[in-house]
């Protein structure tokens, strides 16, 4: 059976009608990869939901197919978002795919990964770098889209959440039920909101029985939900989640509390350690923000949080592909050596 994207597959659980023009790049249906390496470390069965394998390399595509389809249905001509990079890459691609929508993106100057910038540009979005951070850019976008005929496609757009909840459906479909725990990075907090909505709806519709405890992780320098206050100058190496005032703050807290989970913070050091553990122990290359979910569960495991839950299932969402941010990868590993083009020199380097 061919896969034609999340709207086609989960149509009956999405606010879509026969009149909605579907704009899709066949997103979704991403692999759920069992990690032997992390299962050994954590003591739970660890599965990785590799969202970096979506068409533009991040989970945003699930939300964007919905937001762009609904914008087109409404007759919009321009869409706009603020972005730490992945939303802009996805919006730009889906706007191009729509064949009619113009796309405008505001990014924080100097703080978006190279691959994401390249994507927004090649898809011909109007890219505007602001001298400020994501939160300031989002405030501008909210004001502009309120006053002008421009459709907002950040995750405060409810159709984004609708699309993104399908990742939870896919996990239940593969595992036969929801896992006991779900770990996820938290930035603007749309995705944790979407997963929780998805898990609840699948249970209500009788397609799954269990509800997972939601475990959200923010970077220590950008952890407003953990601190309980806005962070004016968020800082982290994980630029995707360099956000100090998340739009879906309340919904994330509700997901945490209703599920009996938690939202915690991890240091940049631990994020980079988990980033390498994923690449080197599981063979999965993600961008730094995505490693937050794995860094988080390693930390919880060290604190014996999972002690009485041996062999239960935990799913970690890996939100974006490692190729988005090649600079961070190269900076954090040993550089390749250059040798003369002769057998002796090469063999010496291999250790023969
Ligand atoms: C790789 O692109 O906010 O908590 O503007 O790109 O739903 O915001 C990106 C967020 C995690 C956090 N991992 O998700 C944007 C943007 C990656 C991300 C998050 C983002 P939310």
Buried b (16+ CB within 10 A) or exposed e, 204-235: eeeebeebbbbbbbbbbbbbbbbeeeebeebe
Dig out the tokens for 313 from the structure. 């299932």
Residue-wise pLDDT tens digits, 142-152: 999 999 999 99
Place of tokens 């050091």: 269
Atom of ligand 1 nearest to the CA of 134: 5
**pLDDT under 50 in the chain at which residues?**
none
Dig out the tokens for 134 from the structure. 């994501």
Residues 175 and 76: beta-carbon distance below 8 Å? no
Residues 38 and 76: beta-carbon distance below 8 Å? no
Out of 128, 319, 322, 323, give the residue to mutate to test ligand 1, the one with the largest number of ligand atoms within 8 Å of its CB.
Answer: 319
Residues 181 and 215: beta-carbon distance below 8 Å? yes
pLDDT at 311: 87
**pTM beyond cutoff 0.95:** yes
Out of 107, 191, 317, give the residue to mutate to test ligand 1, the one with the largest number of ligand atoms within 8 Å of its CB.
Answer: 191
Residue 173 to residue 29: CA distance in whole angstroms? 10
- In this structure, the strands spanning 45-50 and 32-34 are antiparallel
Dig out the tokens for 341 from the structure. 């083009």
Interval between CA 351 and ligand 1 midpoint (Å)? 42
Residues at CB less than 6 angstroms from ligand 1 = 58, 83-87, 155, 185-191, 240-241, 287, 289-290, 319-320
pLDDT at 86: 98
Going by C-beta distance under 8 Å and a sequence separation of 6 or more, which residues neighbour residue 75? none
pLDDT at 1: 79
Tell whether the torsion through CA atoms of 33, 283, 296 and 217 is positive or negative: negative
Interval between CA 161 and ligand 1 midpoint (Å)? 12
């Amino acid at each position: 059976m061919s896969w034609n994207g999340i709207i086609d597959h989960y149509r009956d659980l999405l606010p879509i009608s026969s009149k909605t023009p579907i704009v899709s790049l066949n997103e979704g249906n991403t692999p759920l990869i069992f990690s032997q390496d992390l299962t050994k470390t954590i003591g739970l069965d660890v599965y990785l939901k590799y969202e970096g394998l979506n068409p533009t390399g991040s989970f945003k595509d699930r939300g964007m197919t919905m937001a762009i389809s609904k914008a087109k249905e409404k007759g919009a001509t321009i869409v706009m978002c603020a972005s730490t990079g992945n939303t802009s890459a996805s919006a730009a691609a889906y706007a191009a795919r729509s064949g009619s929508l113009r796309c405008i993106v505001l990014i924080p100057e100097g703080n978006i990964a190279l691959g994401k910038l390249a994507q927004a540009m090649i898809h011909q979005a109007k890219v505007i770098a602001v001298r400020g951070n994501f939160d300031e850019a989002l405030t501008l976008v909210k004001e502009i889209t309120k006053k002008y005929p421009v459709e907002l496609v950040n995750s405060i757009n409810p159709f984004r959440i609708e699309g993104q909840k399908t990742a939870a459906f896919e996990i239940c479909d593969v595992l036969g039920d929801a896992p006991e725990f779900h770990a996820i990075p938290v930035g603007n907090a749309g995705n944790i909101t979407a997963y929780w909505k998805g898990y609840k709806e699948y249970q209500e519709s009788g397609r799954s029985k269990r509800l997972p405890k939601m475990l959200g992780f923010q970077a220590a320098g950008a952890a407003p939900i953990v601190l309980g206050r806005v962070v004016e100058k968020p800082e982290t190496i994980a630029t995707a989640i360099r956000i100090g005032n998340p739009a879906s703050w309340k919904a994330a807290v509700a997901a945490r509390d209703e599920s009996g989970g938690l939202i915690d913070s991890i240091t940049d050091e631990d994020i980079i350690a988990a980033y390498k553990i994923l690449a080197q122990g599981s063979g999965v290359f993600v961008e730094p923000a995505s490693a937050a979910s794995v860094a988080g569960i390693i930390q919880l495991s060290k604190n014996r949080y999972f002690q009485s839950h041996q062999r239960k299932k935990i799913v970690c969402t890996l939100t974006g592909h490692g190729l988005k941010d090649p600079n961070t990868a190269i900076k954090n590993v040993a550089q390749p050596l250059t040798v003369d083009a002769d057998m002796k020199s090469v063999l010496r380097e291999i250790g023969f």
